[in-house]
Chains A and B, each alone.
Chain A
């Protein structure tokens, strides 16, 4: 069992360690016989750093996919798969793995957890409990991104709830109890729907399975059992998609189930806001891309307009609402709603249909853009919440109208703020740009109206961000309360902000570093969806004789008239991905 030369054992240990090290740390923390708060925080920080290093090791590029503990770029399938039996009576497995979609999110999670833990230095109330809950939260988050068994996924999904409730409810602002219960209630409502969908899918699959990859295969079969009617004339696939989608949309959050977010953000302490915006929101997007589309393509195809429409509404609504806010943190929260709308739009643009000769390029662009947007938003929103927190710790208010003139008092802070805020705005050269650009490009072929609306949201975004900068940083002098407390950033605060700024710039000028990870898997997902729409949804449109039987799906008859025009994507990711995707499935 401890023979680490065996790749299987090593994989099991590596992935399990990444997930459970924080929980283990939380356990140790509870019994650690030290009294000093600082000591406890340092210990927790050490744990998060260790986890971060492990995830970085996991993300190190390797030549081929058999390399243990490294990531083979250009390989689209699951890597470092761990698969052990857990509860045989229900066919539940301890099934973990990472691919191009989950790995960046795993690294983002461990990275932001580390920074947020470091940002927790200002917490001074029941530090032991705070650190333990924080670490438990990290376990839940990492588990969600790595688990490939639906049951396991759901367990981790729920494990996050409790620590988050307490972190907001105990260490939050004045209306913390209201915000915490609202967060809990909304998320639980979503997860109950997810649970029902999981159980229905489990029951419909034959033999019953919770294996996400297997369920995706079943869902994409031409004679999939998920096509049978479940209720009110709608199929299993349709119901599962809708239930899952609502569950994930709550987390994302999409309008109209977003109302928990501003409250939770305003009341949560700074580090928790960072995690909430940086990681938790991504779980919604991750769930949609990993679960909704591959498992229920039929419903995704049918409801593509709803998904895209909801995304666009979220974008516009979030931006307009952000513009109306007086509270700095609330503004950032609504900007999150707006930015996550891009993710929804990018994921939903099902343009690989007969009308577009099954060209997958645009949808690939949209989905890659959505993935990029998730990572970029993780960096910029965590940065924004951290910066707001820095300010709040000094002047103890967040009223936008009472700020002003910070440039003169805190020059470094203001400089960092500019970069982070412009990254959120989507300024070319910073990380926010690529996600938005690709999403809009992808949307163009799907619907010109949505693309135009999405593009004009950039103007709204620029509006509220520039106006914020004007109100907070510019102006002659600070006239609000506690003016004396406006001291420059401490060294610790600079160290926390620096990596965020660096990454915002790095991803802005060299997005390939991220696209290299993301694109192969996204292309594989999109090609699978394209094959599905070609063979199952619209078989008559590719010119087969309607009277003849539908030929079985084989590599030969999947006619993929892939667009000849080289796209931006293909230039960056020089992977011959169309060929390599056929070789996946570990």
Chain B
């Protein structure tokens, strides 16, 4: 094969009908939007809200391209790699990316309503958000070590800047600095881990690495190799755990959430976490199950697929152990640490940490199941997708209410919410619904999220994790309930009035709009589950 042929192949693969670029339209749209926003700032300096409207337009266009129109004709895409195996485009990518883009639409509108940016920073804010979003899209479709690294960095770096957007506030700068230093450290460790893995396995493309892994295990793995591989896996997990804010790599989260504005905190807590979970699923899927077995030449294969699956048993056990341990510790620590918080954003930071723990549980279940029951493993991933979808609304609503209350009172302390029930009953009901949904009480969507996760754990027979999950539901009750208690039960302080935000106002309407799905999704479980199952159906094959 000469160079010319190679070039022809690449061009055909990239541009041709059904080629890579076609599947990459949403990301391309986001990139184009970034340019448009920056240009608009130069060309039309008089149009104050240009950035918002262009961003909204771009996001809607991206949503349009990302929407799985063909699915309605029952045409589910098979998993395929694009850009010569760098990215993977399957239904999981489509669904999770769709959720991210949908979240971004709600989020952009939310920031426009609260006016979080300083006077001239609007364009920069949206550019950073869009850039981060592109990185997240890469994370969830990564099929190559480079893309993993690139995606994580591209999603993180704009977030560091966003955290420090309030330039005149020292606490904001401190948050940004902590976030950046922590992020850089975690990325370094992750890169080291990836290079260890790539070094032993002799490739940087994830499925090829798995094929090599099977080969090594099949031939008998030496203690040195085991050590390097386990260390590599562990270091890779450090990077993912940082993005997930999993204990013990969570230290940045409370400070960043407190220092950054509530809007940015919402973005980090929802979008960043969803992308990190997507990446985790990708990594777990690729290393726990030989996909397709289309190995490159020169690698001698085990006799059949079953033997290959069995060979990866030890790897799966390793993954289950790490992810379960992280999940259990994260969940418990997050819930316990949330007790002492007096600042609402810090409380939500720990709540986010705890939920990251819950969301890692089905990943552990999937890894435990994949060897014996692929359908069960897919069901576990579907549980995660359901969780992400519900979590998106719950957390965005919580942060939105925090931001609106901050605009009204200038405070984010829980104690300052006292007596809100009397002044703004509608908003209090919204907050109560969101909080109880975060606890996981029916008939709210948060219950379904927990229930599907618990079902996955039962299926995988991870009893300890199930017990920890159940115990944590109980632990989490206290601090969520405390917020509601202060709002509804505590008397209004004498020296000042609680803010009045009726649901009929624009702000109140937005909160209600976010709260309605928290209730409605409970009754729409069927549709949501179908979507989640569709997302998972291309994994583990």
Contacts and interface: CB of A to CB of B under 8 A. Distances in A.
Interface of A: 87-90, 129, 154-155, 158-159, 161-162, 165-166, 169-170, 176-177, 181, 184-185, 188-189, 192-193, 195-196, 199-200, 202-203, 231
Contact of A162 (B425, B436, B478, B530): B436
Given A184-B477, A192-B470, A200 B441 contact: no
A195 B526 CA distance: 20
A57 B474 CA distance: 40
Contact of B441 (A162, A166, A185): A162
A172 to B, nearest CB: 10
Interface in B430-472: 436, 441-443, 447, 451, 454-455, 458-459, 463, 466, 470
Interface residues of B, number: 27
Given A89-B526, A166-B488, A231-B463, A195 B454 contact: yes
A494 to B, nearest CB: 34
B489 interface: yes
B436 A196 contact: no
Given A158-B442, A162-B436, A177-B485, A196 B454 contact: yes
Given A89-B526, A89-B530, A170-B489, A195 B451 contact: yes
Contacts of A158: 441-443, 447
A185 B477 contact: yes
A568 B470 CA distance: 46
B529 interface: yes
Nearest to A154: B442
Contacts of B526: 87-89
A189 B458 contact: no
A189 B474 contact: yes
A169 B436 contact: no
Contacts of A176: 489
Contacts of B481: 165, 181, 184
B489 A177 contact: yes
Interface string B503-531: 00000000000000000000001100110
A199 B473 contact: no
B51 to A, nearest CB: 39
Nearest to A159: B443
Contacts of B436: 162
A193 B470 contact: yes
Contacts of B454: 195-196, 199
B442 A159 contact: yes
Main secondary structure of the interface of A (DSSP, over half): helix
A193 B474 CA distance: 10
Main secondary structure of the interface of B (DSSP, over half): helix
A12 B455 CA distance: 30
A192 B451 contact: no
B335 to A, nearest CB: 14
Contacts of A195: 451, 454, 470
A192 B470 CA distance: 6
Given A87-B529, A165-B481, A169-B485, 12 more contacts: A88-B526, A89-B529, A158-B443, A162-B441, A169-B488, A176-B489, A184-B481, A192-B470, A192-B473, A195-B451, A195-B454, A199-B455
Given A90-B525, A155-B443, A159-B442, A203 B459 contact: yes
B459 A155 contact: no
B179 to A, nearest CB: 35
A199 B448 CA distance: 12
A169 B442 contact: no
Contacts of A188: 441, 473-474, 477
Contacts of A161: 441
A120 B470 CA distance: 37
B276 to A, nearest CB: 27
Contacts of B473: 188, 192
Given A161-B441, A199-B458, A200-B458, A185 B525 contact: no
Query: Which of B425, B459, B525 has the most chain A CB within a 10 Å cutoff?
Result: B525
B525 A89 contact: yes
Nearest to B463: A231
A254 B474 CA distance: 20
Contacts of B470: 192-193, 195-196
A162 B435 CA distance: 12
A166 B458 CA distance: 33
Nearest to A243: B470
Interface string B286-321: 000000000000000000000000000000000000
A185 B474 contact: yes
Contact of B458 (A90, A129, A169, A203): A203
Nearest to A189: B474
B442 A155 contact: yes
A230 to B, nearest CB: 8
A90 B526 CA distance: 8
A158 B473 CA distance: 13
B256 to A, nearest CB: 31
Interface in B99-156: none
A207 to B, nearest CB: 14
Nearest to A85: B526
14 contacts: A88-B526, A89-B526, A89-B529, A158-B441, A158-B447, A159-B443, A166-B488, A185-B478, A188-B441, A189-B474, A192-B474, A195-B454, A196-B466, A196-B470
A196 B464 CA distance: 13
Contacts of B488: 166, 169-170
> What 10 A-B pairs have minimum CB-CB distances, sorted nearest first?
A155-B442, A89-B529, A192-B470, A158-B442, A87-B526, A203-B458, A87-B525, A89-B526, A169-B489, A155-B443
Contacts of A154: 442
A161 B466 CA distance: 23
A202 B529 CA distance: 17
Contacts of A193: 470
Nearest to B443: A155
A427 B130 CA distance: 77
Contacts of A88: 526
A188 B476 CA distance: 11
A21 to B, nearest CB: 17
A188 B450 CA distance: 14
Contacts of B463: 231
A166 B484 CA distance: 10
B421 to A, nearest CB: 8
Given A155-B443, A166-B488, A169-B485, A199 B474 contact: no
Contacts of B441: 158, 161-162, 188
Nearest to B429: A30
B455 A203 contact: yes
A202 to B, nearest CB: 8
A374 to B, nearest CB: 25
Contacts of B525: 87, 89-90
Contacts of A155: 442-443
Contacts of A169: 485, 488-489
Contacts of B458: 196, 199-200, 203
A181 B443 contact: no
A169 B486 CA distance: 11
Contacts of A181: 478, 481, 485
B197 to A, nearest CB: 36
B133 to A, nearest CB: 30
A269 to B, nearest CB: 14
A166 B485 CA distance: 9
Contacts of A185: 474, 477-478
Contacts of A177: 485, 489
Nearest to A166: B488
Contacts of B447: 158
Nearest to A128: B425
A166 B421 CA distance: 12
